[in-house]
Structure 1
């Protein structure tokens, strides 16, 4: 196990810069997820940690060693790829033990390590099969087994579940998290799926256009997003954004005035802002306590109900943890839950705390 330290990392492909002076400290034994939209640089960053991409500028340290210019084989890392990368002509056992064999380890040690990894991953009955005889989930387990037999300092995962169906993804993310809890090996995990990141990671790094927007625990990012980008990326369904301005009566958007928490009364009337409300932070109330919202679409989700609503001229999504007997065209009265409203500067997108929004 080891910490990973990235210092002022830059990456250029020709004239195009894709990583801009990035700093990141991943602690020993920590599970860190890199998330962001396509093209944000998360896979490129992972490949630089692995040594598969050269660093244009900056340094990478693993376990206190400067590995910036070392070959991948000398970094003591193991990587699990999206496409499994198994050798089709080798058995499961041979695939899992290949890296140790390549390093000239004794056959007895290889067999022992393969059996150990197979027991952890439930692969013992499959050791003599070939990849073509395995399901997608089994192949991914073999790829993970090939990584853990080496007992590396750091595991690197590059979107390992994206080729699996939805049900199997849920199973496999539980297995990966359980594996980390058992081995406590430093893990860097790239995914475009923020639900994966929220359920698996100790900390999440949100990337956008090659820059770090925010680093924090899943709940920190969910409860106090640093800016509008993070607020919209973390959470499913995504946060609703309503443009408007502060007034003595509340937050005035087009066609509606939303009630605000008492802390917002200190903010200067007329100040423009973007009001962010998560779908699960709406509540139904009486006409005198909320604002009218027309139901546009009803999506029953079993124990939950997701509604598309129109607040004034703004469409929003609301998620209620109950079954609602409503139909399109009906009008409900709703309000944001106290303390669950987020405000963002309309120019910079930065979070506006009350003490920063008085001017």
Structure 2
């Protein structure tokens, strides 16, 4: 096992800069997930750590050793890709032990490591099968087993569950997390799925356009997003956003476009008339216990919860409730936010005005890079 350090890492393709001075420190044994929309640079960064992409500037260290110019096979890492990349003519056992055979490891050692990995992953009864006789989840386990037998310092996962159906993805998420808890090997995992990130990671690195937007634990990012992008990206359904201003006179309130008034958290650095964005998650809205009036447009019962879509002036909002209310499209409801959960963002900078207690890339750092 080993720590991984990425210091001021940049990646250029000609005059086009893809990564803009990324800094991440990953502790020994930590499970860190790089998450962000397509094109944000997360897979490029993972491939740079693996040595599959050259680093244009900066430094990458694994276990305290700078690996900028070290070949991938000498970095003591193992990578699991979105594609299983199994040899179709080889059995499961042969696929899992292939890298050890290339390294000319003793036969008994190869057999022992493969059997141990197969036991961890529940593949003992499949060792004699070929990939064509396996399900998608079983093939992904074989790909993971091939990485485990190498006993690397670091596991790298590049969207390994993208090819699986929804039910199997949930199962595999649990299995990968349990695997990490058992092996305690440093793991870096790339996904665009924020649910995967929230349920699996010790810490999440949120990326956008080649920059790190915020680093923190899943609940840190959920409860204290540093900016509008992180607030909108983390959480499903997404956070509701209302454009408006701080009231110019009278009680200090938020006045949304359309005139609806909502309470503001105390102690924020707000000026009268300041343009702000009011953020509140669907599950933090209380229905029909006073508050602003909204018009219901859609009711979506899911069993345990009901999602209510409504309009508040020109804005569309979603509320998630556990109560079973007799509502239908066209009804009016009163909505009241849980004031302790409200997020307020500056309309110009899109930065949070609640000073989140997480690692944040400040605007000054971004402009300097």
Per the normalisation by structure 1, the TM-score is: 0.96
Change (3 A) 1:102 1:352: same
Give the 5 Å matches for 1:135-284.
Answer: 135-247=135-247, 248-249=250-251, 250-263=253-266, 267-284=270-287
Aligned equivalents of 1:285, 1:12: Cα separation in 2? 54
The equivalent of 1:84 in structure 2 is 84
CA contact (8 A) 1:256 1:311 kept: no
| C-alpha distance in 2 between matches for 1:298 and 1:78 | 47
Query: CA separation in 2, counterparts of 1:111 and 1:259?
Result: 65
State whether residues 114 and 149 of structure 1, in contact with CA within 8 Å, keep that contact through their aligned partners in structure 2.
yes
Partners of 1:153 and 1:295 in 2: how far apart? Answer: 53
1:113 aligns with 2:116: no
**What is the aligned-residue RMSD (CA, Å)?**
1.4
Give, in whole Å, the separation in 2 of the partners of 1:277 and 1:6.
Answer: 34
Residue 10 of structure 2 contacts residue 18 of structure 2 at CA under 8 Å; is this kept in 1? yes
Instruction: Tell me the number of residue pairs that the alignment of Structure 1 and Structure 2 aligns.
Output: 353
Tell whether the 8 Å contact from 2:9 to 2:58 is kept in structure 1 after alignment.
Answer: yes
CA offsets, 1:301-326, max 9 Å, x none?
A: 10100011111221111111232321
Q: Secondary structure at the match of 2:299?
A: strand
Deviation at 1:347, TM superposition (A): 1.0
* Distance in 1 (alpha carbons) for counterparts of 2:113 and 2:311: 59
> What secondary structure does 2:156 align onto?
strand
2:337 is aligned to 336
Q: Check the 8 A contact 1:282/1:319 in 2, yes or no.
A: yes
Report what 2:45 is aligned to: 45
Partner of 2:328: 327
Long gaps (5+) in structure 2: 357-369
SS in 2 for 1:329: coil
Between 1:314-323 and 1:154-163, the stretch displaced more is 314-323
* Post-superposition CA distance 1:84-127 (Å, at most 9, x none): 11111110000000011110100100000000000000000000
TM-score, scaled relative to structure 2: 0.93
Answer whether contact 1:285 1:333 (CA < 8 A) is retained: yes
Aligned-pair CA distance for 1:262: 4.9
